[in-house]
Structure 1
Amino acid sequence: MTQLLMRYSRILEIVGDIVKVHVPLSEDGVSAICFGDLALIESVEHSGRPPHLSQVILLEGESVSLQVFSGTKGLSTHSAVRFLGRSMQVTFSPNILGRSFSGTGRSIDGGPELTQEPTIEIDGPTVNPVRRVLASRMIRTDVPMIDLFNCLVESQKIPIFSVAGEPYNQLLAQIGAHADADIVVFGGIGLVFDDYHYFRQAFEEAGVLARTVMFAHQGSDPVVEGLLVPDMALAVAERFAVEEGKRVLVLLTDMTAYADALKEVGISMEHVPSNRGYIGDLYSQLARRYEKACDYKGAGSVTILSVTTMPGDDVTHPVPDNTGYITEGQLYLHDGVIDPFGSLSRLKQHVIGKVTREDHSQVMNTMVRFYAESQDAAQKQAMSFELSEYDHRLLKFGDLFQQHFMDIGVTMSLEHALDLSWEVLAGCFSKDELLMKKALVDKYFPVSESREKSTIVTES
């Protein structure tokens, strides 16, 4: 019997969800156990219970630390450990499309277990930069505040910064339901059941569930199981992109819950805490996941859109702060709307005017400029200053902008959003006030320039 199949019964200590077991070294001083290997911990007192799945997270001489995914309840120092000689794997085949799995890869949708399907390791390296293709294609979401003002580009990694209580899950579900990706991979961490059910129902009602894979760690599950969700989602997405040439969109929520799970493990391991108690390698742990976003040469692509909640609406909090250094922009969601000023997509210049309509850049800049002026006019009004006729038109424009574009419940194609932008502009301003290229104004400005006749203005 090989050493990997032997049972080790000398449990040194149990702290939180961490179990330390004594594993003798070989004669040449080498451990047969590898970092990341899986192990089954069997309770001697409760022999009828299924074993606890765990993973090696630290090797210190003959002491091996195991992270128990289902928690250590029912385990004692009289338990036995059996190593499996492999790292964590996830099922990968076309049959996982339309299915939902837990943080450990177990089916949670009532469907059959896919025990006979092939599996893949979830802890693979990131892609060699030489094999990456420069981002040049857009993923349409039908959310005007994204498509029109901050395009989502294939192979991009971008977070949604928000706070608890904001409808970020509604926004994420809407994007997943309307995105023009071939496959959507959803990863939820710390979800309540209502949130999980909401996502699944949204995908089903939109008719995209058949091309969606869901990995959901719920709040009632052990905390450490949430650590596996991003790796499982990204491993599956990578295989679909590389082996089948699919354009894959990965949706993750909430990466702050993921960082909190890392903190809990670090505390159990008695690691020296860093900023606000988080682990010292938080940046590396986040970057290792986000860098899976890639446009593969001769294959498909993986794009990552995640939610990062900011405790206390503090952008300097370690999780959003580290995330901002890794990702290529951010979308700020507050007060139920995507903020056009705080949001930024650093890759949008690769697609605006190149794969989108020629007037995209001019319309985007002009709309944001007038909205900024409308906010100044609103401040003047709040302070009881006298408003000019131009100020009143700015206020009208600001109301129309919020109504037709900023509401996250609004869905429309990019072309529709551009045409609607021209109608709103024509209903509030003259051609000369737009300060746009004459050729574009002559081509796209509505024929009727009368603000009184504008359907946008009269309807509102």
Structure 2
Amino acid sequence: MILPELISRTRVISIVGDILKVQADGVALGELAWVENRDQIPSLAQVTEIRRDVVSLQVFAGGKGLRSDATVRFLGHASQVPFSDDILGRVFNGVGQPVDGGPELPGHRRVDVGGPSVNPVTRVVPSKMIQTQVPMIDVFNCLVESQKIPIFSIAGEPYNELLGRIAIQADADVVVFCGLGLIFDEFHFFREKFENEGVFPRTVMFANQASDPIVERLLAPDLALKVAERFAVEQDKRVLVLMTDMTAFADALKEIGVAMERIPSNRGYTGDLYSQLASRYERACDYRGAGSVTLLAVTTMPGNDVTHPVPDNTGYITEGQFYLHDGMIDPFGSLSRLKQQVIGKVTREDHAAVMNTMIRLYSGARQAEQKQQMAFELSATDHKLLKFGELFAKRFMRIDVALPLNDALDLGWKTMAECFEPEELLVKEDILEKYYPTQSDSSPHSP
């Protein structure tokens, strides 16, 4: 292996697990280094702590096999990621190395990872929508450009299928996918999905697999977000970043914190968990005079516990959440705090009426279900609500349903018309006259 030009060289003074400690001056936090064993391929490492002249490094490949006479060569820069138009359609690992067997990237440049996020004062107020063709998102909790929002889920839910569908259907210019701690089947699913659906020409993949070094799990989100930022700032692209799973990212932080002998906080996580999550989520931005970065990230909840430190801290940072339960997006637990910026402004005038009315009716359907289960007598309205609830779950809540927004709004009117008379909907008369289906449109009241 040919090493780049290096600025400093020293020797290891202690090895504890994957952590090396050396005595060195002029080294920066986050700086990369090569660790060389005699007659072995050099291992990449990153500076994780500096105490006076004692520098701690996390070795990407692990500390197994390292010798006390190993040599450390500092590179003089932090992590970098390749950037050019040629990275579209490519797959990289957690340190930005191509892993798809494709050719070397000609004429690309390497961009320093990290740096401060955008000053909130200079951010543009979100006012544009990203359509995903997932009705439970587009109709009820719109995804707005520059929004940062998690998908709260538990293990076993089809959140990978949901992310894959959004990647294919979203009206973004560029999709940057970042997988954290993926097992091989998950990695293969996303790669095959993007290839088969023909979206790879606008997609970049950063995949940290479960078998990869754990420190790469911390770097992968930074690489993905830096690439997204460059596409937005330099090429005015509307970029959608999809991540799975931020709980794996937090667990990697905890594991490295234990190795560094840091004092643990809530449930063993590091005390800076909030800051670590926020520094990534705050990269979502609508850049003045340029493009935008929108971030949608899966956060699994161990034991379905929303008070777990990872979802709990995430909720304070992000602008809402989507709850995935029983293979469907829960309309009651989900929330988009920015949806009012676009509903009825960049979407159709009846959007708010459809959204509010259908949620109200579905809430009534859930209450009618409870009455039915407890063997209470059901009214004629209860029967209508039960029918509506079945249609709503089938036509809107399933994640395999794909509809453009206006088609979903039309289907909403059709579904309501099949169950209720116009006056039962409690919608403004001018909206009803314009959008409520006529008998010839859908035969709404036929048995």
Q: Which residue of 2 aligns with 1:96?
A: 87
Q: Find the aligned partners of 1:104 and 1:6 in 2 and give their Cα distance.
A: 22
Q: Secondary structure at the residue paired with 1:238?
A: helix
Report how far residue 16 of structure 1 moved.
Answer: 2.3
| Residue 20, structure 1, aligned to residue 21, structure 2 | yes
2:26 to 32, 36, 43: 32
Report how far residue 205 of structure 1 moved.
Answer: 2.3
Q: Which residue of 2 aligns with 1:364?
A: 355
Report how far residue 450 of structure 1 moved.
Answer: 11
Equivalent residue pairs, number: 443
Q: Find the aligned partners of 1:6 and 1:118 in 2 and give their Cα distance.
A: 24
1:72 to 38, 42, 63: 63
TM-score, normalised to structure 1's length? 0.94
Q: Could you tell me the percent identity over the aligned residues?
A: 63
Q: What CA deviation, in whole Å up to 9, does each residue of 1:278-302 have, x standing for no partner?
A: 0000000000000000000000000
Q: Which residue of 2 aligns with 1:5?
A: 7
Q: Find the aligned partners of 2:124 and 2:8 in 1 and give their Cα distance.
A: 46
Q: Find the aligned partners of 2:81 and 2:320 in 1 and give their Cα distance.
A: 30
**Kept after mapping to 1: 8 A contact 2:147/2:285:** yes
Q: Which residue of 1 aligns with 2:372?
A: 381
Q: Find the aligned partners of 1:420 and 1:312 in 2 and give their Cα distance.
A: 36
1:268-287 equivalences in 2 (<5 Å):
268-287=259-278
Report how far residue 200 of structure 1 moved.
Answer: 1.5
**Kept after mapping to 2: 8 A contact 1:124/1:235:** no
Report how far residue 409 of structure 1 moved.
Answer: 0.3
| Residue 203, structure 1, aligned to residue 205, structure 2 | no
Q: Secondary structure at the residue paired with 2:439?
A: coil
Q: Which residue of 1 aligns with 2:230?
A: 239
Amino acid corresponding to residue 282 of structure 1 in structure 2: L
1:48-87 equivalences in 2 (<5 Å):
49-87=40-78
TM-score, normalised to structure 2's length? 0.97
Report how far residue 81 of structure 1 moved.
Answer: 0.4
The farther-off stretch of 189-198 and 289-298 is 189-198
Report how far residue 114 of structure 1 moved.
Answer: 2.6
Amino acid corresponding to residue 380 of structure 2 in structure 1: E
Amino acid corresponding to residue 444 of structure 2 in structure 1: S
Q: Which residue of 2 aligns with 1:296?
A: 287
Q: Which residue of 2 aligns with 1:454?
A: 444
1:59-458 equivalences in 2 (<5 Å):
59-114=50-105, 117-448=108-439, 453-454=443-444
Q: Find the aligned partners of 1:6 and 1:333 in 2 and give their Cα distance.
A: 50
Structure 2 residues without counterparts, runs of 5 or longer: none
Amino acid corresponding to residue 212 of structure 2 in structure 1: D
Q: What CA deviation, in whole Å up to 9, does each residue of 1:185-225 have, x standing for no partner?
A: 00000001111111122222222110000000011111121
**Kept after mapping to 2: 8 A contact 1:427/1:450:** no
Cα RMSD of the aligned pairs, angstroms, is 1.5
Q: Secondary structure at the residue paired with 1:190?
A: strand
Q: CA 1:187–1:358 in 2, change beyond 3 Å: closer, same or farther?
A: same
Q: Find the aligned partners of 2:347 and 2:85 in 1 and give their Cα distance.
A: 32
Q: Find the aligned partners of 2:370 and 2:36 in 1 and give their Cα distance.
A: 66
Amino acid corresponding to residue 29 of structure 2 in structure 1: F
Amino acid corresponding to residue 101 of structure 2 in structure 1: G
Amino acid corresponding to residue 362 of structure 1 in structure 2: A
**Kept after mapping to 2: 8 A contact 1:182/1:246:** yes
Report how far residue 271 of structure 1 moved.
Answer: 0.3
Q: Find the aligned partners of 2:61 and 2:85 in 1 and give their Cα distance.
A: 28
Structure 1 residues without counterparts, runs of 5 or longer: 24-30
Q: Find the aligned partners of 1:449 and 1:439 in 2 and give their Cα distance.
A: 20
Q: Find the aligned partners of 1:368 and 1:202 in 2 and give their Cα distance.
A: 32
**Kept after mapping to 1: 8 A contact 2:8/2:75:** no
Q: What CA deviation, in whole Å up to 9, does each residue of 1:266-322 have, x standing for no partner?
A: 000000000000000000000000000000000000000000000000000000000
Q: Find the aligned partners of 1:12 and 1:315 in 2 and give their Cα distance.
A: 43
